């Protein structure tokens, strides 16, 4: 049976085995998918060991950049992102790296949540690996503007500089922003610490601004609570992005696109149970 894993450290919490088991059941694909805890200093050895037999792997924190360096070849979007979350063993035995995070976010926003991106003003909070992965697919939808705001402004400036040939993207600090926007994406890990990036309430126009936190949790994240209190038109968390990036990986490996709706509903039920 074809073997797949998700590499990470820690990895015990990963929902990827459940997601891919449900995708496999739904599509009639015959595969095994497990977690693989890679030592922090030995990801490459662990990956090469797995790929003696394995067919494909997902990669999560903190190995996405190392996976990028490990691959024999990269898709254009992985090349642009500088990070890899999906590894595939090709027929000639070489490893190809892809990045499905951006496609997952954009599909969750546009298809699942019905959020329009073309001609809109988008604010992204954060300038880490996740933002690097989502800028290209967001800009491909031709928004009016994308502002990348980060605590460490130099990192936002670096990203804006790297991506500005693809569309209207500029950098900012949090304190400089006051005008309402159409969409705010929280791609900081502030929610992990129960914190909210220090941004002005005036960025949300009640009934118009959609707010998306890439994080998800049993209870609404601080960012989602903030957005709901201000009357945001839509308040969304990153569970859909998780399901969609996995579906994109499944499609790369198996050539079949699973229906994410029932899988997302099951993830939501399990998250609520805690």
Contact residues toward ligand NAP (CB under 6 A) are 101, 126-131, 150-152, 155, 187-190, 192-193, 195, 197, 214-215, 238, 241-242, 245
Closest approach of Cβ 213 to ligand NAP, in Å? 8
Q: Which is it for strands 95-98 and 56-59: parallel, antiparallel or unpaired?
A: unpaired
Distances (CA, A) of 270 to 191, 192, 253, 259, 273: 20, 19, 26, 18, 5
Q: Which of 15, 64, 89, 120 is catalytic?
A: 64
Please identify, using beta-carbon distances, which residue of 190 and 232 lies nearer to ligand NAP. Answer: 190
47 versus 81: smaller Cβ distance to ligand NAP? 81
Q: Which is nearer to ligand NAP, 89 or 127 (CB)?
A: 127
| Residue 23: strand, helix, or coil | helix
Query: Rounded to whole angstroms, how far apart are CA atoms 133 and 175?
Result: 25
Smallest gap from Cβ 66 to ligand NAP, in A, equals: 13
Element (H, E) at 140: none
Active site residue 64: yes
User: Nearer Cβ to ligand NAP, position 70 or 242?
Assistant: 242
Least distance to ligand NAP, CB of residue 136, Å: 15
Smallest gap from Cβ 45 to ligand NAP, in A, equals 23
Query: Alpha helix (H) ranges present in the chain?
Result: 16-27, 43-50, 64-70, 76-81, 101-107, 129-139, 153-163, 222-229, 239-254, 260-273
Q: Which residues are catalytic?
A: 64
């Amino acid at each position: 049976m074809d073997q797949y894993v998700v590499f990470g450290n820690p990895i015990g919490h990963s929902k990827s085995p459940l997601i891919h088991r449900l995708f496999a059941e739904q599509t009639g694909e015959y595969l095994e998918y497990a977690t693989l805890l890679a030592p922090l200093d030995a990801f490459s050895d662990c990956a090469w060991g797995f790929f003696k037999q394995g067919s494909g792997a997902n990669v999560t924190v903190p190995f996405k950049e190392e996976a990028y360096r490990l691959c024999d070849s990269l898709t254009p979007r992985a090349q642009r992102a500088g990070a890899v979350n999906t590894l595939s063993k090709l027929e000639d035995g070489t490893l190809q790296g892809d990045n499905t995070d951006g496609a997952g976010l954009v599909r969750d926003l546009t298809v699942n949540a019905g959020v329009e991106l073309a001609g809109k003003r988008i604010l992204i909070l954060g300038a880490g690996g996740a933002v690097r992965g989502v800028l290209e697919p967001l800009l491909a939808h031709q928004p009016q503007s994308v502002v990348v705001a980060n605590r460490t402004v130099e990192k936002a400036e670096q990203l804006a500089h790297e991506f500005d040939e693809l569309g209207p993207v500029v950098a900012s600090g949090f304190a400089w922003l006051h005008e309402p926007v159409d969409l705010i994406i929280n791609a900081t890990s502030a929610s992990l610490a129960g914190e909210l990036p220090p941004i002005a309430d005036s960025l949300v126009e009640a009934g118009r601004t959609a707010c998306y936190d890439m994080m998800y949790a049993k209870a609404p994240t601080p960012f989602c609570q903030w957005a709901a209190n201000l009357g945001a038109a839509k308040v969304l968390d990153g569970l859909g992005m998780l399901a969609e990036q996995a579906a994109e990986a499944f499609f790369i490996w198996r050539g079949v696109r699973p229906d994410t709706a029932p899988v997302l509903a099951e993830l939501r039920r399990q998250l609520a149970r805690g």
